[in-house]
């Protein structure tokens, strides 16, 4: 009966997270830039629908909650991932986490965004269409950062990230004066996160603030990065029925408050068997094209290195699906 009561409490918590998004949707679009900083950058997190504030551990946590850097038993944990996004856009990303014991954990990461082929145009009164092509534009972005996390007590952990982000949207020539403008922006941004373990089995909760930054500006209109506040909880549900040394079923529920949209909910689950195979599924609410996602992971130990391969598939409604493949390991 106690187990049933505890499980009911978890369900009520999840419902409490979800209820706010049933209110009227108020879109706050066109308020932020460098949108690639919002994309899930690992196959594991994407397979769980981006519900990763408390499910991440080691290098894969850097993009969601830097405090979770400490949740790895290996001294080194790393991964590299490739994301095939919609409309010919693609992303490459990677991260490395270093466990320094009592001195905390350090992480390094990078993101590279390729916006695909973009053809520039300019006004041409002599053309039948009124425009002429100016060639391909060099459009893309990148970010590099360093993170640090440390457990302040056996129940409370904090972490932070400082990163340098930049974006290039090609150059253009002003109609008046013929001045060529290079559309580039760059600057620093910051992430913060925390984790708390109240002492009830594997239940934990925490929060993160991502992409806190000063304003960026291309020409006239200033904007900020996609600032997002997240709060979530996670737990191995098999703990409620006695636990298992060879299996786990992790549930993560996140509530998001983004600067450029109304509130969202991410729900994700991961079933792991003998630390060899992981099956994942997730769901995002209040998105225009994203919702369901799924994926799997394979682990294999060889020569003291634990290798991992993760894959995620996300249908994107009117667009082609988004797919991610991640390779990595720990030792």
Q: What pLDDT was estimated at residue 260?
A: 87
* Rounded CA separation 153/281 (Å): 32
Please state, in angstroms and rounded to a whole number, the distance separating the CA atoms of residues 208 and 165.
19
Number of folded domains that form the chain:
1
pLDDT of residue 187: 96
| Radius of gyration of the chain, Cα coordinates, nearest whole angstrom | 21
- Which residue range is the domain that position 8 belongs to? 2-330
DSSP string, 97-118: EEE-GGG-EEEEEEEEEE---E
Q: What is the CATH number of the domain that holds 172?
A: 2.40.160.60
Neighbouring residues of 131: CB distance < 8 A, sequence distance ≥ 6: 121, 122, 123, 124
Q: What's the burial of 130, exposed, middle or buried (CB within 10 Å: 0-12/13-18/19+)?
A: exposed
pLDDT at position 119: 77
Q: What is the pLDDT of residue 7?
A: 44
pLDDT tens per residue, the chain (331 residues)? Answer: 454 444 444 444 554 544 444 445 556 666 788 999 999 999 999 999 999 999 988 899 999 999 999 988 899 999 999 999 988 899 999 999 999 999 999 999 999 999 987 777 777 777 777 777 777 778 899 999 999 999 999 999 999 999 999 999 877 666 666 667 778 899 999 999 999 999 999 999 999 999 999 999 887 778 899 999 999 999 999 999 887 788 999 999 999 999 988 999 999 999 999 889 999 999 999 998 899 999 999 999 988 899 999 999 999 987 889 999 999 999 9
User: Burial, 138: exposed, middle or buried (Cβ in 10 Å; 0-12, 13-18, 19+)?
Assistant: middle
**Per-residue pLDDT at 118:** 78
Q: How far is CA 309 from CA 163, 270, 275, in A?
A: 26, 15, 12
Specify which residues 82 forms β-bridges with. Answer: 92, 325
Distance of alpha carbon 155 from alpha carbon 91, whole angstroms: 35
Cβ–Cβ contacts within 10 Å for residue 84, how many? Answer: 14
């Amino acid at each position: 009966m106690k187990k049933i009561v505890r499980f009911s409490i978890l369900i009520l918590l999840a419902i409490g997270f979800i209820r706010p998004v049933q209110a009227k949707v108020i879109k706050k679009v066109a308020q932020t830039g460098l949108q690639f900083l919002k994309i899930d950058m690992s196959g594991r997190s994407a397979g769980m629908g981006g519900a990763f504030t408390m499910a991440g551990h080691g290098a894969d946590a850097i993009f969601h909650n830097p405090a979770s850097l400490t949740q790895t038993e290996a001294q080194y944990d790393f991964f590299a991932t490739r994301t095939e996004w919609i409309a010919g856009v693609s992303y490459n990303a990677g991260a490395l986490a270093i466990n320094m014991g009592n001195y905390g954990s350090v992480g390094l990461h990078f993101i590279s965004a390729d916006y695909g082929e973009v053809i520039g145009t300019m006004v041409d009164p002599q053309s039948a269409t009124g425009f002429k092509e100016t060639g391909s534009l060099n459009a893309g972005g990148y970010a590099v950062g360093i993170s640090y996390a440390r457990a302040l007590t056996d129940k409370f952990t904090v972490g932070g990230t400082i990163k340098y982000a930049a974006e290039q949207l090609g150059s253009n020539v002003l109609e008046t004066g013929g001045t060529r403008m290079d559309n580039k922006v760059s600057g620093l941004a910051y992430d913060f996160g925390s984790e708390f373990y109240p002492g009830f089995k594997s239940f934990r909760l925490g929060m993160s603030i991502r992409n806190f930054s000063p304003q960026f500006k291309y020409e006239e209109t200033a904007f900020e990065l996609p600032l997002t506040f997240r709060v979530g909880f996670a737990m191995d549900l098999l703990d409620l029925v006695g636990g298992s040394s060879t299996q786990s079923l992790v549930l993560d529920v996140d509530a998001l408050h983004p600067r450029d949209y109304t509130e969202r909910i991410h729900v994700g689950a991961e079933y792991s068997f003998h630390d060899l195979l992981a099956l994942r599924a997730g769901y995002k609410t209040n998105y225009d094209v994203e919702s369901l996602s799924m994926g799997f992971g394979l682990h294999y130990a060889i020569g003291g290195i634990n290798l991992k391969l993760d894959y995620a598939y996300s249908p994107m409604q009117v667009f082609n699906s988004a797919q991610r493949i991640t390779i990595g390991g720990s030792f």
